[in-house]
Amino acid sequence: MTVSEIEQALAGSAAAVLESMFFSGLVDGPEPPVLPDEPWMAARLSFHGNPSGRFGVRLPLATARRLAANFLGADEEALTEGQAGEVICELANMLCGSVLSRLEKDARFELSHPELSVPAPAESAPGTPAPASAATRLLNLEEGPMALWLEL
Tell me the C-alpha to C-alpha distance, in Å, between residue 123 and each of 39, 100, 120: 7, 29, 5
Using the predicted structure, report yes or no on whether residue 120 has a pLDDT greater than 50: no
Flag the least confident range among 6-15, 61-70, 120-129: 120-129
**Percent of all residues in the chain with a pLDDT value above 90, rounded to a whole number:** 76
Mean pLDDT of the chain: 89
Beta strands 53-60 and 144-151, pairing class: antiparallel
Could you give the 3-state DSSP secondary structure of residue 66? Answer: helix
Which tens digit of pLDDT belongs to each residue from 128-150?
457 778 999 999 999 999 999 99
- Domains of the chain as residue ranges with CATH: 3-151 (3.40.1550.10)
- In three-state secondary structure terms, 109 is coil
pLDDT, tens digit, for every residue of 6-44?
999 999 999 999 999 999 999 987 677 778 888 899 999
Q: Rounded to 5 degrees, what are φ and ψ at 150?
A: -140, 130
pTM: 0.90
Q: What pLDDT was estimated at residue 122?
A: 46
Give the residue among 10, 32, 152 at the shortest CA–CA distance from 91: 10
